[in-house]
Structure 1
Amino acid sequence: MEDPREICGPIAHIYRSHLAYMAKELEAYRIGSGQFDFLMVLYRKDGISQETLAKLLKVSKATSTRAIQNLEKEGYVYRQRDENDLRAYRVYLTEKGKEMREIILEKLISFLDTLLSDFTPEEKKIFRLLVNKAAFKLCDPGFGQRGQNRQSDAK
């Protein structure tokens, strides 16, 4: 087997660099590291439950709660009790939160432009396809549970 660090190391580096870049770029807006991810999900599906947000972003409920509370404090989102489940909250964008969409997208595009600046158009296309193919494998709700998804053990 090849050294997993040859793939996992660069992926982790890209991820950490992405978070650091976005934190720096959004600091003036008082949006902390990783909080923009919550906004990005809400741009696609405003009003989803706090628990669903945590699951989609693969973070703990506590991490999700802290991020949402910070975004709420800054006026980007508000929470409302779920009519069907009074124990749960739904999270909605405020006008201020909606206005941040273009700014965040601009920052993300800038990051990607830098990341892919030395790629040819064909390499960019292949990279996107391969990254999406790899990420799709991890979308299985059971991924990461002990004893599962260890197909290499069976071979």
Structure 2
Amino acid sequence: MPKESYSEFECYVYLLSKAHQKGHGLVQKRLLPYGLTNVQYVVLELLWHEKGLTAGEIGKLLVIDQATLSGVLDRMIDSKWLIRRQNKSDKRMFRLYPSKKATRLKKKLVEERRDANKELLVDFTKEERIVLRRLLLALL
């Protein structure tokens, strides 16, 4: 760790961005063999918990703009991670569901994410992990 007086390490935004890079890289490395990006994985995890969301609902919950999300969802449908179904009561609306492929690989993918978390926080005590999570949630 650099000297305390080094200004970049006094900047919380800089430190958070570096922590994000490290965590993002760990997850990305584990998802690469599955052909998934970090954002695609987060979409899957959301839909495993709440099936049948619309693109707008996903965007709101994950705080992703529609232009970005549209491309992400299209690629996930093309690569058979998601299924898009027309809403029965409103034919203009589509709902999204995890595919059979996504459901089959769910346990393994969740395990990969948990392992990345463990690797990232390996030097932290349980208490430190709890405090870190609380502080990160407070920033959202």
Which TM-score bucket, shorter chain as reference? 0.7 to 0.9
SS at match of 1:34: helix
Unmatched runs of 5 consecutive residues or more in structure 1 = 136-155
**More helix per residue: 1 or 2?**
2
State whether structure 2 residue 61 is matched by structure 1 residue 56: yes
- Counterpart residue number, 2:3: none
Indicate whether 1:97 and 2:102 are aligned.
yes
Q: Could you tell me whether the CA contact under 8 Å between 2:26 and 2:120 is conserved in 1? A: no
Amino acid at match of 2:17: A
The 2-side partners of 1:119 and 1:24 are apart by 21
Q: Aligned partners of 1:122 and 1:18: how far apart in 2?
A: 19
2:79 match = 74
Match of 1:85 among 75, 82, 90: 90
Identity %: 21
Aligned residues between the structures: 133
Give me the CA root mean square deviation: 2.1
Alpha-carbon contact 1:51-1:61 (below 8 Å) kept:
yes
Q: Give TM-score scaled by structure 1 length.
A: 0.75
TM-score (norm 2): 0.82
Please tell me whether the aligned partners of residues 23 and 34 of structure 1 are also in contact (alpha carbons under 8 angstroms).
no
In the alignment, which of 119, 124, 131 is matched to residue 119 of structure 1?
124
Show the counterpart of 1:148.
Answer: none
Aligned twin of 2:137:
132
